Amino acid sequence: MKLLENKLAIITGATRGIGRGIAVEFAKQGANIAFTFSSSVDAATALEKELTDIGVKAKGYQSNAADFDAAQELAKEVLKEFGTIDILVNNAGITKDNLLMRITEEDFDKVIEVNLKSVFNLTKAVIRPMMKQRSGSIINMSSIVGLKGNAGQTNYAASKAGIVGFSKSVALELGSRNIRSNVVAPGFIETEMTTKLDEATVQSWRDGIPLKRGGQPIDIANACVFLASDMSSYITGQTLSVDGGMLT
The predicted pLDDT at position 158 comes to 98
Q: Per-block average pLDDT, block size 10, for the chain (248 residues)?
A: 96 96 98 95 97 98 96 98 98 95 97 97 98 98 96 97 98 98 97 84 94 97 98 98 95
Query: How much is the pLDDT for 193?
Result: 75
Task: Please give the pLDDT value at position 72.
Answer: 97
Domains and CATH numbers, the chain: 8-188+217-241 (3.40.50.720)
Secondary structure (3-state) at 40: coil
What is 178-235 written as a DSSP string?
Answer: TEEEEEEEE-SB--TTGGGS-HHHHHHHHHTSTTSS-B-HHHHHHHHHHHHSGGGTT-
pTM: 0.96
50 by Cβ neighbours in 10 Å (0-12 / 13-18 / 19+) ranks as: middle
What's the pLDDT at 194? Answer: 80
Rounded Cα distance between 2 and 82, Å, is 19
Amino acid, single-letter form, for residue 173: E
Rg (the chain; Cα; Å)? 17
Q: Specify the pLDDT at position 171.
A: 98
Distance of CA 161 to the CA centre of its chain: 14
Based on the residue annotation, tell me whether 156 is a catalytic residue of this protein: yes
Taking a C-beta distance cutoff of 8 angstroms, is the pair 201, 113 a contact? no
Out of 37, 108, 120, 156, pick the active-site residue. Answer: 156
Q: Return the number of other C-beta atoms located less than 10 Å from residue 38's C-beta.
A: 17
